[in-house]
Amino acid sequence: MDERLILESIERYIRGEMLPEERKFFEELRKSNPGIDQMVVEHTVFLHMMEKFGDRKNIKSTLQDVHNELFETGQIKQSKETKVRRLWIKYRKTVAVAASIAAITALTISSLTSYYAPRTPNTQLQVLSRQFSEFKKVQKSINESLNNKLPVKGPAPAETEIKGGTGFMIDSKGFIVTNAHVIGNSTVVVVQNNKGQEFNTKIVYINNAADLAFLKIVDSNFKAPAVLPYAINKGNIDLGEAIFTLGYPRDEIVYGEGYLSAKTGYRGDSLTCQIAVAANPGNSGGPVLDKNGEVIGVLSNRQEHVQGAVFAIRSKNIYIALDDMKKDSTLVSKTDSSFTSIHLPQISNVKNMDRVQQIKKIQEFIYLVKSY
């Protein structure tokens, strides 16, 4: 209690609240009593500290008040892009790295896909099958006139759209190869040889990926030939090699001559090769032969608006498609098992003959394919 009173006196003394006599008395006390003097000094320091503390606290609260008020009344503004800008500054390196990685990845993927992409269905490629509708009348009349001389079987041209192309025999048992797009979704396919004889066929196998289809002639009028004059090339081909084609861009067999102009097809497609030859709708599925009478490809399509860019499916794909077909067990139930014994001709009989003789030998195995 005593000490409390002393402290209160000290406070009043420090603040100068004492009356003159009281002050005089207190100063005497300070001088005579070192303990009280010590307390005065200490308390002075403390009060000074308190004072500073209070000042700092007050100015802080005033500043915060002013800040809030100025913000609310819009007299100072927080810059809008603050946050975005800060994030940008903080993460710009990360963003740059991420963007470069994304760009490199995108470029790599797009170049890889374009490099390795298999043939894509392409509007710039025009398949060389032809529409028969305009020829219907002509064909009908031809059929009628031929009926008198040659026994012709098969359905009469129907009102439905007929697709046409070329096919050629690959096995003397009556197996014919053509383009898958020549067959399309048709169920009835008739082939016609260069003499105008028509034969009914059965679709044995369609490989849309390779754009190849295998047909088998199932017709009593068909006489199996002993041997095929041409061979199916298995190996590679050389740039600039002279080639010739036989096909039915019209109802008459048409011969074409050219050369191998590129080892790959449209946009680097390695299944096909590019040849320079005159080709028209109807040539699709026709053989591309070299000077020895070896089939090196199956003519399939051409690039629109580009002169002389015709593409042929490389003949080794016939072997591949055939192997796939033989592996396909579901085929056994659909057709007879003769397809398992298909042997592609390996030796050309027309080697060293002149072209006219070659064509004479070969042309009867080239068929006009009509799919209904």
Partner 1 sequence: MTTDSNELVLLKGLAENDRKAIETIYRVHYSMIQTLVINNNGTSDDARDVFQEAIIVLYEKAKSGSFELHAQLKTYIYAVCRRLWLKKLAYYARFSGDLANAPETIATDDDLEMYEHRTADFEMMEQALQNLGEPCKELLESYYIRKKNMSEIAKEFGYTNADNAKNQKYKCLMRLKKIFFGSYHSNNNNNS
By the criterion CB under 8 A, which residues form the site for partner 1?
4, 7-8, 42, 46-47, 49-60, 62-67, 69-70, 75-79, 82-83, 85-86, 89-90
Neighbours of 98 (CB within 10 A): 11
- When the beta carbons of 55 and 257 are compared against partner 1, the nearer one is 55
- Cβ atoms 192, 363 nearer than 8 A: no
Cβ of residue 69: shortest distance to partner 1, in angstroms?
A: 8
3-state secondary structure 54-90: HHHHHHHHHHHHHHHHHHHCCCCCCCCCHHHHHHHHH
Cβ of residue 56: shortest distance to partner 1, in angstroms?
A: 5
Helix (H, G, I), strand (E, B) or coil at 350: coil
- When the beta carbons of 24 and 57 are compared against partner 1, the nearer one is 57
- When the beta carbons of 64 and 100 are compared against partner 1, the nearer one is 64
- When the beta carbons of 52 and 360 are compared against partner 1, the nearer one is 52
Helix (H, G, I), strand (E, B) or coil at 14: helix
- Cβ atoms 140, 155 nearer than 8 A: no
Enter the DSSP assignment of 285: T
* Alpha carbons within 13 A on the beta-carbon side of 244: 18
Cβ of residue 269: shortest distance to partner 1, in angstroms?
A: 55
From residue 294, alpha-carbon distances to 139, 145, 264, 349 in Å are 32, 35, 19, 9
Which DSSP helix (H) or strand (E) runs through 218? Answer: none
- When the beta carbons of 64 and 270 are compared against partner 1, the nearer one is 64
From the number of C-beta atoms within 10 Å of its C-beta (0-12, 13-18, 19+), residue 96 rates as exposed
- When the beta carbons of 64 and 110 are compared against partner 1, the nearer one is 64
- Cβ atoms 276, 261 nearer than 8 A: yes
Cβ of residue 24: shortest distance to partner 1, in angstroms?
A: 25
Question: Whose CA is closest to 313, among 152, 46, 125?
Answer: 125
- When the beta carbons of 41 and 107 are compared against partner 1, the nearer one is 41
Question: How far apart (Å, rounded) are the C-alpha atoms in residues 38 and 34?
Answer: 6
- When the beta carbons of 68 and 105 are compared against partner 1, the nearer one is 68
- When the beta carbons of 51 and 336 are compared against partner 1, the nearer one is 51
Q: Which residues contact 339 (CB under 8 A, 6 or more apart)?
A: 175, 204, 205, 214, 216, 325, 326, 331
Q: Which sign does the torsion angle of CA 303, 305, 306, 308 carry?
A: positive
Cβ of residue 270: shortest distance to partner 1, in angstroms?
A: 55
